């Protein structure tokens, strides 16, 4: 990011200024006009701007010819992009601005096109004279923040009420994926976090890191400390030096609700008879990604009768899981494949005997069905012994900071 911004600044030093001056007699030049648009590397004041979005199925040369370039010039510009912009990655729905020379005729010459890659980065194309392309990035700030959210209605609503970006939900759900059931949050549960967020033009565009977090329920605290050992492995630990990662995820999909629990005496919603339901139903929209809760081997994939499209995974000699009613499977998934924890193996659906889209998730321990919501998972490898004192010191420091902030 820093390199891109420096490149854009250097480029702006090379292009003519958009400021116009009028000299009267022997007086000093007086500025009478200046660019009113974010510096793009060309003067916008004397040009007319039209904006729009890339259409579905539209390719780079098609967009450029639609905006006024000849077919040959559009092709030459695509070639000129070279390593600056991959024209194959232009996305439908992304915004563009086209700048035309002011002209009374309908055939206005196209001078520049600005393509918005994302909320921060833009690619500028010079479409006349000598063809050229360059990148421009808006200024991005990194802010250190403190979040303190107590659950009253839902994590989403309470995040917004506390003035915290909902993007924090994703971060917290990943940190606490193995220890907190985000589908079973209760009123009074509390999240506190020290984190950094990136901001562009007043909008939060990402969470760049969570240094420390605490989840509190019924007075019991679960701290999570970010400490990178430099080995490419786990980065979050509790105050005892145990990994926040467990052998299994707490749930196989994100941000939904439990619609039916584990029971040997449930009345079947379709057949109306009382029969065992040795799994947990998660209600979620069709197409919601379903993940394997742990590393393992796909031992079956196919039609499961009333269970519809089903994937079954053996994780080790003790645990096996199954994922029922899938609308479809992950591309290329087949029996015998090794899958990783968190890998998408299918998508929520309503195949088989089902009243609506949901995932029926089942777990067996030593061949016996168990309640997935009560399954205990052993901790992963703890922090290296030589790093424990540093972790302890870091945790105490952050705990003191949060205690101080929560009192204000």
Domain boundaries, the chain: 2-137, 141-237, 257-374
Among all chains, which residue has been given the structure tokens 């976090």? 193
* pLDDT score for 106: 64
Q: pLDDT tens, position by position, for the chain (408 residues)?
A: 434 433 333 343 344 445 433 333 444 444 434 444 568 888 888 889 999 999 999 999 999 999 999 999 999 999 988 889 999 889 999 999 999 988 766 678 899 999 999 989 999 999 988 899 999 998 899 999 999 999 999 899 999 999 999 899 989 988 988 888 787 789 999 999 999 999 998 888 889 899 999 999 999 999 999 999 988 778 999 999 999 988 888 899 986 678 676 565 544 555 455 567 778 999 999 999 999 999 889 999 999 898 999 999 998 878 999 999 999 999 999 999 999 999 999 999 999 988 889 999 999 988 899 988 888 777 778 899 999 999 999 999 999 999 999 887
Residue of 367, 343, 369 lying closest to 277 (CA atoms)? 369
CA distance 15 to 286: 51
Task: For the sheet with 220-226, list strands across it.
Answer: 141-150, 190-200, 203-217, 220-226, 236-237
* pLDDT score for 316: 83
Read off the DSSP letter of residue 28.
P
Residue 323, CA atoms < 13 Å, CB-side half-sphere = 27
Q: Out of 3.40.50.2000, 1.25.40.20, 3.50.50.60, 3.10.450.350, which CATH number does the structure's domain 141-237 have? A: 3.10.450.350
* pLDDT score for 265: 52
* pLDDT score for 217: 93
Six-digit token pair at 182? 């985000």
Inter-CA distances, 116 with 5, 81, 138, 142, 361, Å: 15, 15, 11, 21, 41
Bridge partners of residue 222, in order along the sequence: 215
CA distance 173 to 180: 8
Q: Which helix (H) or strand (E) holds 10?
A: helix 2-14
Q: Give me the CATH code for the 2-137 domain, please.
A: 3.10.450.350
**Is it true that 2-137 and 257-374 share their CATH fold?**
no
Q: Give me the CATH code for the 257-374 domain, please.
A: 2.70.70.10
Residue of 82, 48, 46, 76 lying closest to 64 (CA atoms)? 76
Inter-CA distances, 355 with 267, 284, 307, Å: 13, 12, 12
Determine whether 257 is exposed, middle or buried from the number of CB atoms within 10 Å of its CB (0-12, 13-18, 19+): exposed
């Amino acid at each position: 990011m820093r390199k891109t911004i420096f490149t854009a600044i250097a480029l702006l030093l090379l292009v003519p200024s958009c400021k116009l001056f009028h000299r009267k007699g022997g007086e000093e030049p007086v500025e009478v006009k200046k660019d009113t648009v974010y510096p793009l590397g060309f003067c916008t004041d004397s040009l007319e701007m039209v904006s729009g979005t890339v259409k579905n199925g539209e390719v780079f040369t098609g967009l450029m010819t639609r905006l006024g370039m000849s077919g040959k010039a559009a092709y030459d510009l695509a070639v000129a992009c070279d390593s600056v912009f991959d024209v194959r990655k232009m996305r439908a729905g992304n915004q563009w601005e086209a700048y035309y020379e002011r002209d009374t005729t309908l055939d206005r010459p196209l001078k520049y096109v600005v393509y918005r890659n994302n909320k921060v980065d833009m690619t500028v194309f010079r479409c006349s004279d000598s063809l050229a392309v360059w990148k421009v990035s808006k200024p991005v700030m990194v802010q250190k923040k403190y979040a303190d959210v107590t659950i009253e209605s839902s994590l989403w609503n309470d995040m917004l009420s506390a003035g915290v970006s909902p993007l924090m939900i994703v971060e917290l759900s990943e940190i606490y994926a193995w220890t907190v059931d985000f589908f079973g949050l209760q009123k009074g549960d509390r999240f506190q976090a020290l984190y950094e967020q990136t901001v562009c033009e007043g909008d939060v565009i990402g969470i760049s890191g969570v240094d420390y977090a605490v989840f509190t329920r019924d007075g019991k605290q679960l701290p999570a400390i970010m400490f990178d050992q430099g080995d490419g492995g786990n980065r979050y630990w509790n105050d005892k030096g145990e990994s926040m990662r467990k052998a299994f995820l707490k749930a196989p999909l994100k941000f939904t609700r439990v619609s039916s629990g584990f029971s040997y005496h449930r009345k079947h919603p379709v057949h109306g008879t009382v029969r065992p339901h040795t799994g947990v139903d998660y209600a979620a929209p069709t197409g919601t990604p379903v993940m394997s809760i742990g590393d393992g081997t796909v031992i079956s994939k196919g039609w499961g009768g009333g269970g519809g499209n089903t994937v079954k995974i053996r994780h080790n000699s003790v645990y096996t899981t199954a994922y029922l009613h899938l609308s479809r499977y992950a591309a290329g998934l087949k029996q015998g494949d090794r899958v990783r924890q968190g890998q998408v193996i299918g998508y929520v659906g309503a195949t088989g005997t089902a009243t609506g889209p949901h995932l029926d998730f089942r777990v067996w321990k030593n061949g016996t069905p168990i309640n997935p919501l009560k399954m205990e998972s052993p901790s992963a490898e703890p922090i290296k012994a030589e790093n424990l004192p540093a972790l302890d010191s870091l945790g105490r420091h952050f705990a003191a900071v949060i205690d101080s902030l929560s009192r204000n």
